Amino acid sequence: MSTSPVSTGSAPPVMKPVPPKLSADEVAPRQGARWQSYITPILVVLLAVAVVITITRNWNAWEGGKVEQVTDDAYVRGDLTPLSTKVAGIVRAVDVTDYQQVHKGDLLVELQDDDYQAQVDQANAAVEAARAGIEENLRQRQLQDARIAKAMAGIDQARAQIAAADAGKEAVQAELIRARSERKRQEDLYQTHSTTQQSLEAAVAGEGNLSGQFAIRDADVNQAHTMLQSSELAAEAERRGKAVFESQGIQLQADLRAKQANLAAASVNIGYTKIYAPGDGTVGERQVRPGQLVSPGTQVISFVALTKWVQANFRETQLTNVKAGDLAELRIDQYPGQLISGKVVEIAPASGSQFALLPPDNATGNFTKVVQRVPVKIALDDSTFATNLRPGISVIATVRTRR
């Protein structure tokens, strides 16, 4: 008879497997793999910390300290002058074609100048009339000088007549005094019957004759004084007349200067009917045609000078060590593979945004910092090659801050 095992009411103990004992050669690789799983996250964290520190604290110094500063925001520039009319008129001729090379002083556009020539002729006539008026005034003043001289001669003559009349009056007065004494003496003698009636009558007649002469001499003196006074008044009147002519002469001189100014303005206006090339260069597309009516300020053609340069717009963080005189290397898209040397000649005194039509005002509203760009002017070493460039073409500019 078989016997069954007795249940004790509890599960039998589970026996855990015992891992096999590893040798030293097998333990080392597993520890290395464990360390490698920690190194990768640590490197990522360190790299992120380095990037954050570089960006927030020393990024600008790292960028500005580079020996070569490169930008592709660069273009060829040149003096582009829009030539416009100064006066209104009808276009007589356009003496150039589109994109033609010209030299300084070449006639580009000509307006009809008939109206302006008539204004010049009219102004010339006015100037000549003003000069004739001045000449007439000069002749009048010379005539007044002659009249003044005549009046002065009359004064001198009147004074001489006064002197002569006074002398004659004094002589007659002396004779009259003697005649009166003789009459009194004859009267006294006649009272004593010491003289004759005839002698007394002769003495009385002599006294009367001298009295009449004395009255005439006195009248001559008064007449001479009257003539002197009249001559003096005439001389004063002539002097005042000359002063009037002198003031008129000043006015005529001013009028002449005004007429000459009008002539100069008319001559300048007729000069504006011809538009010349301001220098050696190339013209753009013609904007007017013969027979067209133009007003002041109408653009007729554009002029591009021969002198060219490169304007490179560097970020402000790149200009730490950039200065005038630094060497530059230029790669122009029009000439691929060709390296052109140049030199920094000027750095703009302000960023490009400050020269904009509407400069930004960062004192209002929200603010987001944007790296600004500053124009840098680079001159090409080969000036002959520079004349062949066209303003506006793209350039990659590299500036070496240290040699």
Q: Which residue has the higher pLDDT, 332 or 146?
A: 332
Closest CA to 315 of 70, 90, 23, 134: 70
Report d(CA 203, CA 179) in Å as an integer. 7
Contacts of 270 (CB under 8 A, 6+ apart): 113, 116, 117, 119, 120
Sign of CA dihedral 322, 323, 328, 334: positive
Residue range 4-15: mean pLDDT, rounded: 46
Band (pLDDT 50/70/90 cuts) for residue 222 is: confident
The yes-or-no verdict on residue 9 having pLDDT over 50 is no
What are the residues whose beta carbons fall under 8 Å from the beta carbon of 147, sequence distance 6 or more? 238, 241
Reading the block at residue 116, the tokens are 């302006």
Residue 75: its H or E element: strand 68-84
- Between these two residues, 192 and 242, which has the higher pLDDT value? 242
For residue 14, the model assigns a pLDDT of 47
Quick check: 57 pLDDT over 70?
no
What is the distance between the alpha carbons of residues 344 and 357, in angstroms, rounded to a whole number?
26
Strands 327-332 and 394-400: antiparallel
Mean pLDDT, residues 260-277: 94
Of 386 and 229, the structure prediction assigns the larger pLDDT to 386
Q: d(Cα 115, Cα 357) in Å, to the nearest integer?
A: 40
3-state secondary structure of 353: helix
When comparing pLDDT for 184 and 84, which is higher? 84
With bands split at pLDDT 50, 70 and 90, how would you rate the model's confidence at 382? very high
User: Residue 202: its pLDDT value, please?
Assistant: 73
Q: Is the pLDDT of residue 19 over 80?
A: no
* pLDDT, greater one: 249 or 396: 396
Indicate the average pLDDT of the chain.
82
Q: Please state, for a pLDDT cut of 70, what percent of the chain lies above it.
A: 79
State both tokens at 235.
């001389």
For the ranges 43-57, 63-77, 248-262, 346-360, the maximum mean pLDDT occurs at: 248-262
| Close Cβ partners of 50 (under 8 Å, ≥ 6 residues apart) | none
Percent of the chain with pLDDT over 90: 44
Candidate from 31-40, 179-188, 208-217, 371-380 with smallest mean pLDDT: 31-40
15: left (phi over 0), alpha (psi -120 to 50) or beta: beta
- Sort strands 293-294 and 107-111 into parallel, antiparallel or unpaired: unpaired
Indicate if the pLDDT at residue 164 is higher than 80.
no
DSSP-derived letter for residue 272 is T
Burial per residue of 335-362, b for 16 or more beta-carbon CB atoms within 10 angstroms, e otherwise: eeeeebebebeeebeebeeeeeeeeeee
The pTM for the full model equals 0.62
Domains of the chain and CATH, by start: 66-112+280-360+372-400 (2.40.30.170), 115-271 (1.10.287.950)
Does 23 score more than 80 pLDDT? no
* pLDDT tens column, 25-47: 554 555 555 666 677 788 888 88
> CB neighbours of 166 closer than 8 A, spacing ≥ 6?
221
At residue 7 the predicted structure's pLDDT band, cuts being 50, 70 and 90, is very low
DSSP state of 285: -
pLDDT for the residue 210: 66
